Each structure stands twice: as C-alpha cells, then as structure tokens.
Amino acid sequence: MEESSEEAGQAQTVRYELSLSALEARQGTKKLLPRKGKSLEVSIPAGVRSGSTVKLRNALQSTDDRPGDILIEIRVTGAQEESLPGVVEVTDQSFEEQVVKSGLPVLVDFWAPWCGPCRMIAPITEKLAQEYAGRLKFCKLNVDDNPQMAARHQVMSIPQILFFRNGTVVEQSTGAVPESALRAAVESVLRQG
C-alpha cells in the first residue's frame, strides 16, 4: 500500500492505494491496513473495480488521534478483471455519462458498504451483469460518497435498484430481493425496448 495525504482545515485525508486480485475484487475481502503501529481492518465490498475508492470515515481518530478520513483507491491486478463484463462503479460526477447518456438500458444499484442487504445483492448483480452483457448495463453508486444522485432520485432506503432507459427511470426495486425477482425486473425492462 502506498500513502499520500492532504490537509483541509484541521482534518486530514490520507490516501492509500491497495492492490487486489480479480477474485478478491469480485468476491469482496478484508484487509489489514497498518498505520502508526496500529492495524485497521478494511472491508472491501464485492464487485469493486480498478479506480473505486473505499472511504474509512474518521479513521485517523483511531490511528493518529486526530480527525480525518482514510481513502483507499483500489487497483485490481490481472487482465481477467478488465476482460469480464461486470458492474461499473459510478459517482455523482460520472452518472450523467455512464447512466443518462448510455445507449443501453441501465440498472443502478444504490448501496453503501455498511449495508448488509446491499452486500447480499452484489453477487446477484455481478452474475446478471455477466449474463446480460451487451444488452443491459449494470452500475452501482455508493450513496455515502455520492449523495447528490441519491437525493435527486429520492433514494430513501437501500439497496434501491433503479432501471433507466434513455435517462428515465422505468422500473425500480427496493430491498434485498431474490435473484428470481431481480431477473424478472431485468427481463421486463428488456421487453420494454
């Protein structure tokens, strides 16, 4: 892991880069982050991609005795990760380009790392992303790190899955629904086209 830092007022943000295997990225993993003689356990959610960021809110309080966050940028090693279709992580900044302007219908999973039901749904969306590659685009948006899009789409509880066609919501699902229900919603959206 490589470290860099930046200060904003009295709070500091420390950035690390973490390399994962393609398997760890797909399935999720736990890693220990050593800092100042202490170790923080970091939970990496299933389905992370290269360039994703995991944020440890106010983690510097436990390692440095001062306020500040730790941001961990994920790097996935191995060509296998890039060659497989999967779930694309979107942000407030990339939402317009990745979702609204997409030529394909898009499923967006609004989630958070601390949400148990969100972690239950992640392997299902990964599996469906493989099966429906080229017909439906699969994205996920971390609501903690990207509050603007969550607010714009009135996401009040997670996991919330919204289906977009030409930038408009055409179907939605809330909660940890079974694979069969999510598959039925995907099929319904594809039939609408």
Q: Which H or E run includes 5? A: strand 2-8
Is the torsion defined by CA of 14, 19, 20, 25 positive or negative?
positive
3-state secondary structure 51-118: CCEEEECCCHHHHHCCCEEEEEEEEEECHHHHHCCCEEEECCCCHHHHHHCCCCCEEEEEECCCCHHH
Q: Is residue 115 annotated as a catalytic residue, yes or no? A: yes
DSSP-based three-state secondary structure for 35: strand
Set 107, 115, 136, 162: catalytic member: 115
Set 54, 118, 129, 186: catalytic member: 118
Q: Is residue 139 annotated as a catalytic residue, yes or no? A: no
Question: Which residues carry out catalysis?
Answer: 115, 118
